[in-house]
Amino acid sequence: MTDEYERQKATRQQKAREWQPGEPLPVIAYTEEEDALWETVTAKLGSLHAEVACANYRRAAEAVVLHRHRVPQLAEVSPVLTGLTGFHLRPAEGTVPAKDFLGAFADGGFHATQYLRRPDSPYHSPEPDVLHELVGHAVMLGDPVFADLYRSFGEAARRVSTPEAMRDLVHVFWFTIETGVVYEGGRPRVCGAALLSSVAEMESLDKVELRPFDTADIVAQDFDDTDCMPVLFAAESVDHLVAEVQRFLTRL
C-alpha cells in the first residue's frame, strides 16, 4: 500500500510540476478507495464544522459546495472562488517556499496540492493534501473577509526583505489562517484551514491551551506543523483577529 501510495503521489506531483500558467488545471484520476476516504472524512468533518467552525466558514461552505462522494478537481472549485472573491487555484507539487506561497495571494493565487492523505492517517495529515486545500483553504477563500486577509498576507510577503521578518510573518500566518480560533457566543470557534481539515484537531479543541490573541506572543511561539497543536491563540472575534493581523502586517 505504501509503494502504491507513493507512486500515485509522485504521478500527481509530476502533473503539477509540468503545469504552466494559462493551461487547464490538471485532472487527477482518483481511485474508488480515495473517493471513499474523501467521503468518510468529509462526512466526519461536516458534523464537526456544525459544532466548532466559525460563522464565516459555515456561510462560505454554502457558497463553495464541495462534492461529498468523490474528491473534487481543482478545475471544479477554482472558478467558483474566482466568482466569489477573485481567487484561483494553482497546482502545487508539494510544500511551496513561504515567500512564493504567501506572495501568490497578492495576485489572488493559491497553490494547492492534488494528492490525498495516506489511508492509514485519515483524520490528520502531517502535510498539506487536497482535502486540506479544499475543505480548509478553498472554503475560507470563498469568504470575502478572509480572502482579503489572505491578500494582505501576500502583499506583506512580497514586501518583507529579511529572514527574520519572513519568519514572523509565517508564524502569524500559521496561528491565524492555518490554526486560527475566535470566540463566538462565548465559545471558541475554528477559522484556520489546518484545523478545519483535521478531525483530530477539532476533536481535541477542548484539550488545547487557548491563549489570548497577541501577535507579539505568536511570533515568539514555536510550532510543529506535522502534529496537533498543544497551544492556540483565540481572538475575541473575527473582526478582532483581522484588526490585529492587519496592525501587525502594517508594522512589519
Active-site amino acid positions: 132, 137, 178, 197
- 132 annotated to a ligand binding site: yes
- 240 annotated to a ligand binding site: no
C-alpha cell belonging to residue 95: 510544500
Can you say whether residue 185 is alpha, beta or left, with left for phi > 0 and alpha for psi between -120 and 50 degrees? left
CA–CA dist 227, 172 (Å, integer): 18
| C-alpha dist (Å) from residue 181 to 79, 80, 148, 202, 237 | 28, 26, 18, 11, 9
Q: Computed from CA positions of residues 126, 182, 177, 77, in that sequence, does the dihedral angle turn out positive or negative? A: positive
CA–CA dist 156, 161 (Å, integer): 10
**What are 209's strand-pairing partners?**
231
CA–CA dist 73, 67 (Å, integer): 9
- 137 annotated to a ligand binding site: yes
Backbone phi, psi, residue 179, to 5°: -130, 35
Is the Cβ–Cβ distance between 111 and 104 less than 8 Å?
A: yes
Q: Three-state SS string across 61-122, please?
A: HHHCCCCCCCCCCHHHHHHHHHHHHCCEEEECCCCCCHHHHHHHHHHCEEEECCCCCCCCCC
Residues annotated within the binding site are 132, 137, 178
